[in-house]
Amino acid sequence: MTPIQEFFKQEMSRRGDLTSKQKQILEASLTLFAEKGFEKTSTADIAAMAGVAEGTVYRHYKTKRELLLAVLAPLMAVMPNMVAEFDENTVRKPITTLQEFVQNLVRDRLEFLDVNYKEVKVLAGELLFNTDLRREFINSLLSKTEVFSDLTKTLDRLKAEGKVVDWPTDLILQFTLSTLIGFVGRQFIELPSELTKDQREKMTVAFLVKGLTP
Amino acid sequence: MTPIQEFFKQEMSRRGDLTSKQKQILEASLTLFAEKGFEKTSTADIAAMAGVAEGTVYRHYKTKRELLLAVLAPLMAVMPNMVAEFDENTVRKPITTLQEFVQNLVRDRLEFLDVNYKEVKVLAGELLFNTDLRREFINSLLSKTEVFSDLTKTLDRLKAEGKVVDWPTDLILQFTLSTLIGFVGRQFIELPSELTKDQREKMTVAFLVKGLTP
Amino acid sequence: MTPIQEFFKQEMSRRGDLTSKQKQILEASLTLFAEKGFEKTSTADIAAMAGVAEGTVYRHYKTKRELLLAVLAPLMAVMPNMVAEFDENTVRKPITTLQEFVQNLVRDRLEFLDVNYKEVKVLAGELLFNTDLRREFINSLLSKTEVFSDLTKTLDRLKAEGKVVDWPTDLILQFTLSTLIGFVGRQFIELPSELTKDQREKMTVAFLVKGLTP
Amino acid sequence: MTPIQEFFKQEMSRRGDLTSKQKQILEASLTLFAEKGFEKTSTADIAAMAGVAEGTVYRHYKTKRELLLAVLAPLMAVMPNMVAEFDENTVRKPITTLQEFVQNLVRDRLEFLDVNYKEVKVLAGELLFNTDLRREFINSLLSKTEVFSDLTKTLDRLKAEGKVVDWPTDLILQFTLSTLIGFVGRQFIELPSELTKDQREKMTVAFLVKGLTP
DNA sequence: CATGAATGAGGATTCATTCAT
DNA sequence: CATGAATGAATCCTCATTCAT
């Protein structure tokens, strides 16, 4: 499992105290929110899919919106890490080339985005119009991408060694993240391609490596 | 005005037959949809902001969803162009370098995304959960990015000349578009930056040029 | 019609702009609130009795509670007058005896309480547990029973002439009002009596006159 | 302790078999019913305040309404006594004057109403809209105020001696009770007064004595 | 064409009551 | 006996849509 995915699982298991009903409810909510969007999902739908009574949903979550937040909470907690953390220990030797750096990042994050596709979709839809949540999300993001984050440190080192172009870290992250999102987004809209996913992943790495070379 | 923006205006003016009330309704809808999202906007809200009676809205648009489609129609019509069209004539000499190519593309599209920010936001929200619209959107997109589109032709020429990496056109467009979207998205979430917008635009061009160089 | 009843009608007609549907809704609400109490009356009940759709109720009154307030408003406006106003002009000569005073008061108020029985009942039920409304009610009551209210003036004159016991006005009003309420309350609980209503009314006047004589 | 209060305590202690949980439940119910009204009090509220599980409430009382009746039962049992009983033994010599009669009555009942303020409030709210309970209440009241009740006997004696006006007993009780209720009600709505409670009590006695003098 | 009152289906939420542990 | 999770009917309220004026 990739490091980020690992983080996520830990976050989820922190909720080990969830009853089975709660899990069913969260699962159903996630699925339906991802499928039809939050607003178009009725609590009756959720109850039906979860196989519980509507009242049961409200016994565990005071409002529908609270249910949404519960669904998003693990992701909200991990997302900033996804942008800021970088686990050098998963590879034997420390990162010494841009190629290594990008490759690690891409593989790790792509899988995460892929596996947690539903959560990401729901979060995206919510961030689009929910100003409050957006603000909160950005703040937690900013608090993570500080100078001493793993990723920042690794990047700075590579910059110092002249292995990465000397642009602000946040811009580099922006390019990287948007390229990754583009990759996943493309799958999402199911655009056909003459290439395999692996080939596209390789080219994505190549694109980033070249783009970020000084 | 940039070529894409030009297209858009033409698309809009094709609706020259719209009464002033209709324009008010569309304008109000766009604003509210972009602000709160489609589902959370009530037709009463729209009528109020447009300064017309609720019945009047329904005189012009049979359903609320039809109103959404009317709001998105111009963008839906132009978006594929944005990905496929490339107006070489706006510069005196034809494009001969990747640098020129990217620069033109970025300037043009960025301004468009910026100016039509609301439409794009509404469309994004809609594409996320509306499968039908998404399919339609993709189809029109595919039909545009055919081999004989301006952009494809220019790219192929540059590839032949060894000035652009030899990746499939759709992948190159994916990288380009996602980088642009990242640029705009960053503004959307109002992340602070130590750089000016101009500086960031220059670096974005540089990133793309390097990334797409063979 | 008694003076107080007159006041009430004026208050009601101030709502001359009510549509017929609104009147039906208010009428039904009043009847049902008086019959079953506010909490036990459902908006569906009201709509059914008023012969309109449930949505129509909410078109006119934003919440069920607002509907309650609309029902009570005229009474809330007039009640304080009932305690404070005293129309000496309805009798040819000014009041010169306690007997005259009490007789006028009793006849007037009793009829009012009798005719507006439903409103009073609903108000009573509401004042019992709704602290806010109670406070508001008391305030408007206090603002009315100031030294220069008709009733206070008349009472003061009679006191000065030694025709009424020299107790604070508010206490005299308390005795009077509670005696009146007892009269009406007795009818409300439908206690049988060997006397006619007229006889009871006469004795009530006699009781008050004696009780308030110096 | 006043005789009526004494009655009440006896009634309450008749429930000596109540477990402590039951007492907590009844206590919480009483408090909440008096505070917010029966309908607006949820069984969850009650359980929470009583410090027991919601199921425990239902183990002791089959329905919420039954709980209400249990809360009101002691008062329902004693209220009629309040109107009918008159304990001459608490004073050494038998009552010989109207003044003595009224004074005893007022002091006794006022304190009772004061101490059992919550119960009275809940009962009042219930009698207002609950026809069945009202009928039951009236019946038990009528059965008590029969010719041989203490109070009736004392009153008849005083009437025979020309010390009390010769009105029907029920009317005299009506006047007395409503005057007492007015006294207590005034405190309930927290009307300010320039007099002390003692002064008001004295004047209330005076008012009744004068009003009931032949 | 424009209006806005009326509609009623549907949705979120509450809560008395039950029952397995 | 006590518990508290589960239930689902009932309730308040919203809102897209219709239609008579």
Q: Please check whether strand F approaches the CB of D21 to within 7 Å.
A: yes
Cβ atoms of A211 and B214 within 8 Å: the answer is no
pLDDT tier for residue B118 given thresholds of 50, 70 and 90: very high
pLDDT tier for residue D188 given thresholds of 50, 70 and 90: confident
CA-to-C1' distance for A15 and E20, Å?
25
User: What are the chain A neighbours of B183 within 8 Å (beta carbons)?
Assistant: 174, 178
The arrangement of secondary structure in A3-15+71-212, i.e. its CATH architecture, is: Orthogonal Bundle (1.10)
The answer to whether C195 faces chain D, any CB pair under 8 Å, is yes
Average pLDDT over residues B49-63: 95
pLDDT tier for residue D58 given thresholds of 50, 70 and 90: very high
Confidence (pLDDT) at A93: 64
The per-residue pLDDT for range D127-170, each reduced to its tens digit, is: 999 999 999 998 888 888 877 788 888 899 999 999 999 999 99
Task: Answer whether C193 sits within 8 Å of D177, measured CB to CB.
Answer: no
The per-residue pLDDT for range C158-174, each reduced to its tens digit, is: 999 999 999 999 999 99
Cβ atoms of C29 and C68 within 8 Å: the answer is yes
Q: Which residues of A106-142 are buried (b: 16+ CB within 10 A; e: fewer)?
A: bebbbebbeebebbbbbbebbbbbbeebbeebbeebe
Q: Where is pLDDT greater, at D48 or A192?
A: D48
CA-to-C1' distance for C22 and E15, Å?
31
For domain B3-212, the question of CATH label 3.90.550.10 is answered with no
User: What are the chain C neighbours of D142 within 8 Å (beta carbons)?
Assistant: 191-192
Cβ atoms of D124 and D188 within 8 Å: the answer is no
CA angle, B85 as apex, B79 and B88 as ends, to 5°?
145
* Token representation of residue B52: 């017309």
Average pLDDT over residues C138-167: 88
Q: Which residues contact D85 (CB under 8 A, 6 or more apart)?
A: D3, D4, D7, D144, D149, D150, D151
Q: Please check whether strand F approaches the CB of B42 to within 7 Å.
A: yes
- Give the start-to-end residue ranges of the domains of chain B: 3-212
The per-residue pLDDT for range B137-188, each reduced to its tens digit, is: 988 888 887 777 888 888 999 999 999 999 999 999 999 999 999 999 998 8
Confidence (pLDDT) at C16: 65
Mean of pLDDT over chain C: 89
Residues in chain C: 214
Q: Please check whether strand F approaches the CB of D54 to within 7 Å.
A: yes
**Smallest Cα–Cα separation from A73: which of A11, A18, A13?**
A11
Q: Where is pLDDT greater, at C183 or B79?
A: C183
Query: For C210, which of D128, D200, D211 is closest by C-beta distance?
Result: D211
The answer to whether A197 faces chain B, any CB pair under 8 Å, is no
Cβ atoms of D29 and D67 within 8 Å: the answer is yes
Using a 7 Å CB cutoff, list residues 75-134 of B near strand F: none
Average pLDDT over residues B79-89: 76
**Smallest Cα–Cα separation from C56: which of C67, C69, C44, C47?**
C47
Across B36-45, B58-67, B98-107, least confident range: B98-107
Average pLDDT over residues C167-196: 92
The answer to whether B197 faces chain A, any CB pair under 8 Å, is no
Mean of pLDDT over chain B: 89
Confidence (pLDDT) at D128: 94
Rounded Cα–Cα distance for residues C92 and C97 (Å):
14
Confidence (pLDDT) at D171: 94
